[in-house]
Amino acid sequence: MNPLIERLGIRHPVMLAPMGGEAASAALVAAVSQAGGLGILGAAYMTPARIVEAIAEIRALTDRPFGVNLFCPQAWQRDEARLAAFIEALSVYHQELGLPPPQVPQRFEESFEEQFEAVLSADVPLFSYTFGDLGSTLTRALQARDTLVVGTATQVREARQLEAGGADAVVAQGAEAGAHRGSFLGTRDEGLVGTLALVPQVVDAVHIPVIAAGGIADPRGVRAAQALGASAAAVGTAFLLADECPISAAYKAALSEAADSDTALTRAFSGRWARGIENRFMREMAPLALPDFPIPNALTRPLRQAAGKAGAAQFLSLWAGQAVPLARPMPAAQLVATLASGWQAG
Ligand SMILES: Cc1cc2nc3c(=O)[nH]c(=O)nc-3n(C[C@H](O)[C@H](O)[C@H](O)COP(=O)(O)O)c2cc1C
């Protein structure tokens, strides 16, 4: 009996963890869902119109359940001195890649309200969120339309808060995980509990299903998640090498060459702590006092896009978790089947 899986009506307790930005792909989400797992679309950087379009693309490719993920809105301030220093530091890399000088964009992020409205009105089977607590009003609005609501926690007290807000399930995101930390309470280090320690403690603390995430990349990881009491395993990094994942060749090459100790936490690309393969941009920007998220995220976008095209991995956000060496190129359906083989029936 696995209430989460039964409620979703999926065959395998394996989820494509939401991956926003370059890795977000309707084709990848649909391939995972079609293979009996649950694909979750990382829609955080999409315009509301693109969200509607991507959901339609998924539905055209599969009639299986899927999810959509957004970032909870963050309080942030525009500090002009930090912004100017960041632009100055960034100009060096722009020059190196032959790009025009960095420009301050008209806006730094999409409107969460409009993104949320786009997801809400699409009646998706599952909505997941990170970086905060969605709160009971929006949670209930989704649930009233039969959408399952999943929050992200990186420590026990975050999981308890999400449960109190009415979430149907919680992702326990361990410190090993690739890309942004979902943390929203306390310091960075308080939110860096490893998956092996975090999952059973969250399972003990809440009464809702727990989805394990962070460092799960093969059937052994899935089996471990099950043994720790999780109701499903969510896998991000390992899917970056899936055939359907549209990231640049330079990013895929860096993932294929990475060792277990090659990732580090950085705020340099986005202003929020995230794990990626350490590169020159991360090292050189580390001493800088950064503007708040999402300012750096918007400002580094032209550099990241140009670097992807030029094959300049030193300037790419090479988001990856500590299990990255376990990732292998293969069709997403094969990875779903491989991962699912780790889950013991019965
Ligand atoms: C490239 C990339 C992008 C990500 N983007 C998001 C996102 O938009 N929203 C989110 O909730 N989590 C995001 N994550 C975190 C994953 O959902 C998940 O927690 C993590 O990948 C699990 O650890 P693993 O990478 O070791 O499998 C991202 C992860 C990666 C690798």
* Position 107 in a domain: yes
Choose the residue to mutate in 51, 126, 158, 319 for probing ligand 1, maximizing ligand atoms within 8 Å of C-beta: 319
Please give the angle made by the CA atoms of 237, 242 and 245, to the nearest 5 degrees. Answer: 85
The CATH number for 67's domain is 3.20.20.70
Distances (CA, A) of 307 to 45, 195, 246, 285: 19, 32, 15, 16
Region 60-77 average pLDDT: 97
Region 127-133 average pLDDT: 98
Contact 293, 270 (CB under 8 A): yes
Point out the ligand 1 atom lying closest to the alpha carbon of residue 171.
19
* Position 346 in a domain: no
- Provide the token pair at 161: 């808060």
* Position 133 in a domain: yes
Region 19-39 average pLDDT: 98
CA of 326 to the centre of ligand 1 (A): 16
> What percent of the chain has pLDDT above 70?
100
> What percent of the chain has pLDDT above 90?
98
- For residue 290, what are the domain limits? 3-340
pLDDT band for position 346 (cuts 50, 70, 90) = confident
CA of 285 to the centre of ligand 1 (A): 22
DSSP code, position 263 = E
The pLDDT score that the predictor gives to residue 146 is 97
* Position 345 in a domain: no
Tell me the per-residue pLDDT of 140-150, one tens digit each, with 9 for 90 and over. 999 999 999 99
The pLDDT score that the predictor gives to residue 100 is 97
pLDDT band for position 1 (cuts 50, 70, 90) = low
Which segments within the chain are labelled E, that is strand?
14-16, 38-42, 66-71, 126-130, 148-153, 169-173, 179-180, 210-213, 232-235, 263-266, 274-277
Choose the residue to mutate in 130, 181, 251 for probing ligand 1, maximizing ligand atoms within 8 Å of C-beta: 130
Region 151-176 average pLDDT: 98
CA of 81 to the centre of ligand 1 (A): 31
CA of 85 to the centre of ligand 1 (A): 29
Contact 30, 2 (CB under 8 A): no
Q: What's the domain count of the chain?
A: 1
Q: Which residue, 260, 242, 313, is CA-closest to 93?
A: 313
Q: Sheet containing 274-277: which strands, arranged edge to edge?
A: 179-180, 274-277, 263-266
* Position 305 in a domain: yes
CA of 179 to the centre of ligand 1 (A): 5
Q: Is the pLDDT of residue 167 over 80?
A: yes
Tell me the per-residue pLDDT of 81-128, one tens digit each, with 9 for 90 and over. 999 999 999 999 999 999 999 999 999 999 999 999 999 999 999 999
Tell me the per-residue pLDDT of 298-307, one tens digit each, with 9 for 90 and over. 999 999 999 9
CB atoms under 10 Å from CB of 145, counted, come to: 12
* Position 51 in a domain: yes
Which range has the worst mean pLDDT, 43-47, 114-118, 160-164, 342-346? 342-346
Q: pTM to 2 decimals?
A: 0.98
CA of 138 to the centre of ligand 1 (A): 23
Ligand 1 neighbours (beta carbon < 6 A): 17-20, 23, 42, 44, 69, 130, 152, 173, 176-180, 213-216, 234-237, 319, 321, 323
Point out the ligand 1 atom lying closest to the alpha carbon of residue 18.
17
* Position 111 in a domain: yes
* Position 75 in a domain: yes
Choose the residue to mutate in 51, 196, 237 for probing ligand 1, maximizing ligand atoms within 8 Å of C-beta: 237
The per-residue pLDDT of the chain, averaged, comes to 97
